[in-house]
């Protein structure tokens, strides 16, 4: 099951899952992948962690739960930041799910 497209072109889907499980979660939503029964069978058999991970800023690459543990003030700042509240609906939703 070698991918023939995307940033992991030429890699085995199982190796991609080990390296980047969130990418596999994204793959499941792609129409061209949904047509490939072999890859979809594999993707349906795995568990993908869908925790929100920051893809910008001071804590890029960290999950919100990790950030909350090391810098809860930053979480508060995100919750009240005008840019975030106006432009990042998924982040706002995930911030609202955090335990205080």
**Domain annotation covers residue 58:** no
**Domain annotation covers residue 33:** yes
- Based on the fold, state whether residues 45 and 68 are members of the same structural domain: no
Q: Give the separation between CA 79 and CA 92, rounded to whole angstroms.
A: 7
The separation between CA 13 and the C-alpha centre of its own chain, rounded to angstroms, equals: 17
- Based on the fold, state whether residues 44 and 71 are members of the same structural domain: no
Tens of each residue's pLDDT in the chain, 100 residues: 899 888 999 999 989 888 777 788 888 888 888 888 998 999 888 876 667 888 889 998 888 988 999 999 999 999 999 999 999 888 999 999 898 7
- Based on the fold, state whether residues 3 and 45 are members of the same structural domain: yes
63 torsion bin: left (phi>0), alpha (psi -120 to 50), beta (else): beta
**Domain annotation covers residue 24:** yes
**Domain annotation covers residue 16:** yes
**Domain annotation covers residue 68:** yes
**Domain annotation covers residue 25:** yes
> What's the whole-model pTM score?
0.54
Q: Supply the Cα-derived Rg of the chain in whole angstroms.
A: 17
- Which pLDDT value is given to residue 22? 77
**Domain annotation covers residue 55:** no
- Which pLDDT value is given to residue 92? 94
3-class state of residue 63 by DSSP: strand
- Which pLDDT value is given to residue 48? 67
* Domain span holding position 22: 1-50
As beta bridge partners, residue 63 has: 53
Query: How many domains does the chain divide into?
Result: 2
Cβ-proximal residues to 33 (8 Å cutoff; 6+ apart), any chain = 27, 39, 40, 43
- Based on the fold, state whether residues 3 and 27 are members of the same structural domain: yes
- Based on the fold, state whether residues 39 and 73 are members of the same structural domain: no
């Amino acid at each position: 099951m070698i991918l023939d497209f995307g940033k992991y072109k030429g890699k085995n889907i199982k190796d991609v899952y080990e390296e980047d499980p969130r990418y596999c979660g994204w793959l499941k939503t792609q129409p061209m992948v949904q047509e490939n029964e072999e890859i979809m069978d594999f993707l349906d058999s795995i568990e993908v962690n869908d925790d929100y991970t920051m893809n910008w800023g001071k804590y890029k690459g960290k999950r919100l739960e990790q950030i909350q543990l090391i810098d809860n003030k930053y979480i508060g700042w995100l919750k009240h930041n005008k840019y975030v509240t106006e432009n990042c609906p998924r982040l706002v939703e995930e911030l609202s799910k955090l335990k205080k």
